[in-house]
Each structure stands twice: as structure tokens, then as C-alpha cells.
Amino acid sequence: MAKKGELKPVDAHEQQVRDNAVSYNVVMYTPASSDRERMSCLTLDMAKKCAYNALAEKPYIRSVMIYAVNEYQNHVMVGSIGRDLKWKEVIPARY
């Protein structure tokens, strides 16, 4: 069992995927639709720029989620951007 202050096991694995990401997937959410618009970027900064541009150009998009992808194709959410254009990073849970 982990000690106080250490990451929980699942969060430790997710953090490892975030740290070793080879690309980032940008997924745009549209309300009342099962369709998702997607794009892939090589860096997190590029993914954020794509997300901000999509939110500015397409008023029907409610939010954008950015996922890190490692070499084994594991996907982990890095953060999201809503219509308010605020970046919300995922904070791993600790004991």
C-alpha cells in the first residue's frame, strides 16, 4: 500500500502515460450529438492551440478534452477547455 502523499496506483499509471506521451488527441464535444470531432497533435501546446481555435471557430462545440497517448496506445485525459476558455488540468489523487 502506498504511503500518505504518494499517488494512488491507477493515478500513478496514468501519470506515467502523461509523462511518456508520444501524441495528444483533441476530442470536441457537441451537446445532443453522439458524434465527436477529433484531431491528433504531437505536442500539448499544439493540442491546446487546436482546441482554442476550434472553440473560437465552431460555436456548437461545448468543450474540448485533450488526451495523452503513449507508445502502447494507452489514452489518459490531460485536461479540458470549456466555452469559458479556461484550461482545467487533471490533478491525480494522492493518499
Q: Give how far Cα 15 sits from Cα of 5, 22, 29, 60, 94, Å.
A: 15, 14, 24, 31, 12
pLDDT(45) > 80: yes
Question: In terms of residues, how long is the chain?
Answer: 95
Give the pTM.
Answer: 0.89
pLDDT(43) > 70: yes
- Residue 95 maps to a domain: no
**Residue pair 54/26 in contact by the 8 Å Cβ criterion:** yes
By DSSP bridging, strand 87-89 and strand 23-29 are unpaired
Average pLDDT score over residue span 32-42: 90
- Residue 2 maps to a domain: no
Number of domains comprising the chain: 1
What is the amino acid identity at position 90? Answer: V
- Residue 25 maps to a domain: yes
Q: What is the pLDDT of residues 46-86, one digit of tens each?
A: 999 999 999 999 999 999 999 999 999 999 999 999 999 99
Q: Which CATH number covers residue 80?
A: 2.60.40
Q: In which band, very low, low, confident or very high, does the pLDDT at 6 lie, cut at 50, 70 and 90?
A: confident
Average pLDDT score over residue span 9-14: 89
Domain that holds residue 80: 9-89
